[in-house]
Amino acid sequence: MTHIHRRYFAPLALGAAVLLAVSGCSGQVGGANAARSDGLLTIATYPVGSGTYNELAAVSDAMTSETDRSIRLIPADTGPGRVTMVMEGLTDLGRLGEEYWDAFEGANDFATESWGPTELNVVWHIPASLGIAVPEDSDIRVPADLEGVRVPYVVANPSVNNKMDAALALGGLTRDDVEEVTIGGYSEVPEALRAGRVDVIPFNSTASAMRELDAQFGFRWLDLEAADAPATEATGEIAPTVTIEEVMNAAGMTDGASADALTYGIPIVARPDQDADFVHQYIVELVGTFDTYADSLTGMGSHKIENVAHEPSVVPFHPGLVRFLEENDLWTAEAEQKNEELNSRADSLRAEWKKYIDQTPQDDVNDVTWTRWKEARVDD
C-alpha cells in the first residue's frame, strides 16, 4: 500500500491542566460573543482520557500559561453532541472527529430531519492516528481474520464507526460478516475489550486509555498493510480521508517499535460566521506556543504548522485560517479554488436538502436515500 506520508512521534509525557466543565453546558458556557468578551475560549472535544482530549489539554495549558487567554474544554462522548455545542454557540470552537465531514454532508447520524447538511469550517486541520487493537493472545492478526468476530458499534460516533468499517474493508469484509456489539460511548471502548465484550476495538493509538489498558490487559495492533489492492480501493471509498501510516511508540509498543494506524484529520472547527479576527488570533497563539507544548505528549508534532493541512479536502477552511495561511505564504491558487468549490458545495447541499425533505416521506429520511439524492443532484 502506498503511504501518503509518515510521521514519527516522541515518547509520552503528560503535564497539562486546563479548566474543565464537569457537568452539562447549560449555565456554564455562554455564546461565542460572551465567551470572547470575558476572555474565556471554550472548545468542545472528545471525553477525558481520550488522546484527543489530552492533546488539546496540553495545547490549551501552554496557551493559557503564555497568553492572557483562559480556555475551557467541554467534553462530549458523541459526535452529534460535539457538533451541537459548536452549532448552538455553546462553545466557540470544537475539535471533532470525522463527524465534521458527516455533519457538513448531512451523512450518517446527521441524515435526519433535525440535522441535514451543517455549515462548518476548518480552523486547524490536525492529523491523528487510530489503531485496531485485539487481545494479545488472539489469533486475529490481519483485517481478513476479523470475519465472524465481535466488533463494536459506538453509539452516535460515526467517525469511529467509519474507521472500523475501513478496517473491515481492508480484509474484504463488511458489518454483515461480523457480530456487532453496541457500545455506549467512545470512552467505554477500551473497557469493552478488557471485559471480553468485543474481540477488537478501534482507538487512538497514543491515548493514555490504551496505555492503561496495556498495563492491565495485554493487546496488540493489527497489521493493516496486509490488504490487497481491491480491499485498499474499497477502503478508500468507505473512508476517503484515511491513509495507513506507521506510528512509533504507540501504546503497548516497545521504544522504537512501530504499529500500523489509520491516519485522518481531527480538526478544530468553527461555524462560518465565527469572527475571523478571533479565529485568526487563536491560530496565531496556537502556532506561537508550539515549542511550549511540542514535547508534552506523544504525537504533538502533528500540531506543527508544517504538518497540518494547508489545503482543504472535504470541508471549507475558515476565513481566519485562510488569512493566516496567506500571511505565511502557505495558501495557493489551487487551495483557493478548492475552498471556493467546497463553499459552493455547501450551498448546493443545503438547497438540495430542503427539496429532499419536502419531497421525501418522513419514514424514508435516512442516509441511504439522502446519498442517492446527492449522487443524482449534487455529485454529478
Whether the Cβ atoms of residue 78 and residue 98 lie closer than 8 Å to each other: no
Q: Is the pTM here over 0.95, yes or no?
A: no
Do residues 230 and 110 both lie within one domain?
A: no
Q: Which of 351, 298, 305, 352 is nearest to 329 (CA)?
A: 305
pLDDT score, position 12 = 27
Do residues 146 and 240 both lie within one domain?
A: yes
Backbone angles phi, psi at 202, to 5 degrees: -95, 130
Query: pLDDT tens string for the chain (380 positions)?
Result: 322 222 222 222 223 333 443 333 333 333 444 345 467 999 999 998 788 899 999 999 999 999 989 999 999 989 999 999 999 999 999 999 889 999 999 998 999 999 999 999 999 999 988 999 999 999 999 999 999 999 999 998 888 999 999 999 999 999 999 999 999 999 999 999 999 999 999 999 988 899 999 999 999 999 998 777 777 788 888 888 888 989 888 999 988 888 999 999 899 999 999 999 999 999 999 999 999 999 998 779 889 999 999 999 999 999 999 999 999 999 999 999 999 999 999 999 999 999 999 999 999 999 999 999 999 999 86
pLDDT score, position 5 = 27
Helix axes 276-288, 319-327, angle to 10 degrees: 50
Do residues 66 and 134 both lie within one domain?
A: no
Q: Which of 245, 287, 286 is nearest to 262 (CA)?
A: 245
Residues 38, 92: Cα–Cα separation, whole Å: 13
3-state secondary structure of 105: helix
Do residues 121 and 139 both lie within one domain?
A: no
Taken in order 73, 74, 77, 83, is the CA torsion positive or negative?
Answer: negative
- Half-sphere exposure at residue 327, Cβ-oriented, CA atoms within 13 angstroms: 11
CATH code, 138: 3.40.190.10
Residue linked to cell 512509533: 248
The continuous run of DSSP H or E covering 57 comes out as: helix 51-66
Do residues 83 and 196 both lie within one domain?
A: no
pLDDT score, position 349 = 98
Whether the Cβ atoms of residue 185 and residue 99 lie closer than 8 Å to each other: no
Whether the Cβ atoms of residue 348 and residue 327 lie closer than 8 Å to each other: no
Whether the Cβ atoms of residue 264 and residue 239 lie closer than 8 Å to each other: yes
pLDDT score, position 189 = 97
Residues 353, 355: Cα–Cα separation, whole Å: 5
pLDDT score, position 38 = 61
> Tell me, what DSSP letter sits at residue 25?
S
Do residues 59 and 134 both lie within one domain?
A: no
- From 242, 264, 286, the end of a domain falls on 264
> Which amino acid belongs to residue 359?
Q
- Considering the domain boundaries, does residue 12 fall inside one? no
3-state secondary structure of 130: strand
- Considering the domain boundaries, does residue 224 fall inside one? yes
> Tell me, what DSSP letter sits at residue 311?
S
Do residues 303 and 213 both lie within one domain?
A: no
Q: Name residue 180's beta-bridge partners.
A: 151
DSSP letters for 315-377: SPBPHHHHHHHHHTT---HHHHHHHHHHHHHHHHHHHHHHHHHHHS-GGG-SHHHHHHHHHHH
- Considering the domain boundaries, does residue 24 fall inside one? yes
pLDDT score, position 36 = 52
- Considering the domain boundaries, does residue 7 fall inside one? no
Whether the Cβ atoms of residue 18 and residue 72 lie closer than 8 Å to each other: yes
- Considering the domain boundaries, does residue 332 fall inside one? yes
Q: Name residue 203's beta-bridge partners.
A: 131
Taken in order 287, 293, 294, 297, is the CA torsion positive or negative?
Answer: negative
Do residues 334 and 372 both lie within one domain?
A: yes
Residues 307, 361: Cα–Cα separation, whole Å: 45
Beta pairing class for 70-75 and 40-45: parallel
Domain count, the chain: 2
- From 232, 264, 296, the end of a domain falls on 264
Do residues 42 and 112 both lie within one domain?
A: yes
Do residues 330 and 298 both lie within one domain?
A: yes
Do residues 272 and 260 both lie within one domain?
A: no
Helix axes 51-66, 276-288, angle to 10 degrees: 90
- Considering the domain boundaries, does residue 284 fall inside one? yes
pLDDT score, position 312 = 96
- Considering the domain boundaries, does residue 339 fall inside one? yes
Q: Give the domain range for residue 165.
A: 128-264
Instruction: List the grid coordinates of 267.
Output: 480538526
Beta pairing class for 127-135 and 219-221: antiparallel
Q: Give CA separation, 134 vs 51, 175, 183, 190, in Å.
A: 19, 17, 16, 10
Q: Which of 143, 146, 149 is nearest to 223 (CA)?
A: 143
Do residues 193 and 121 both lie within one domain?
A: no
Residues 379, 101: Cα–Cα separation, whole Å: 15
